[in-house]
A and B are shown apart, each in its own frame.
Chain A
């Protein structure tokens, strides 16, 4: 294996893990998924086209493998949050424990298609086009899934309403209505 290829594969691993965890909601299973993805990828490294995006290539393999194998076993939403929380190094207190927990629970409730689209675009940093390629669907489909995912998350976390931001927003509303 070419050294530059080896480095590119290694460099993609952290993000690949984050994606895998978000897909299966269980750290141990996610790491197995990453391991199987790497083995498949490296066994077929000749089909990787040099000069193209290594991350996107690996994400595609991982996603397809997950779809064909892992989805048969049911996602364990109940235990996922605890296990996931354990895997996080940042202490939740640092960033609003309640909201962060709510967010993870809400994310776990999204339909798989929406969750995957949101993660690819909102966290992995892929363009809509790249995400569409990874998921094997149209760009418009990805955009619509991302929008639905956001709306649903806001709904689940009850932050969709205009008054849900608390004092700040209320103050602003008062200022806006009475500030003439």
Chain B
């Protein structure tokens, strides 16, 4: 029989120690997803909202 692969998934309660490589890969995917949203900047509705609330104190005409 050739079952040389260590099958350590779901190996009880103890979390399996992930290799650096796996951790790096997960981290990369996570940041890719997150940064994509961050790079969209500030949508206009939020700039307007903040300026409107701010403007309640000091009116700036138009």
Contacts and interface: CB of A to CB of B under 8 A. Distances in A.
Interface of A: 1, 6, 9-10, 13-15, 17-18, 21-22, 31, 34-35, 38-39, 42, 87-90, 95, 99-100, 103-104, 107, 118-119, 122-124, 147-148, 150-151, 153-155, 159-163, 165
Q: Which bracket fits the contact residues of B?
A: 35 or more
B22 interface: yes
Interface of B: 5-10, 15-16, 18-19, 21-23, 25-27, 29-43, 45-47, 49-50, 53-54, 57
Contacts of A89: 36, 39-40
Given A1-B53, A31-B45, A151-B16, A14 B31 contact: no
Nearest to A94: B32
Contacts of A147: 15
Contacts of B31: 122-123
Contacts of A104: 33
A173 B51 CA distance: 59
Given A18-B38, A31-B45, A150-B26, A160 B18 contact: yes
Contact of B30 (A15, A119, A148, A155): A119
A163 B45 CA distance: 48
Nearest to B34: A123
Contact of B46 (A35, A123, A161): A35
A115 to B, nearest CB: 10
Q: For the complex of A and B, list the 8 residue pairs with the smallest distance between their C-beta atoms, beginning with the closest.
A: A123-B34, A18-B37, A103-B29, A14-B38, A151-B15, A13-B42, A18-B34, A1-B54
B53 to A, nearest CB: 5
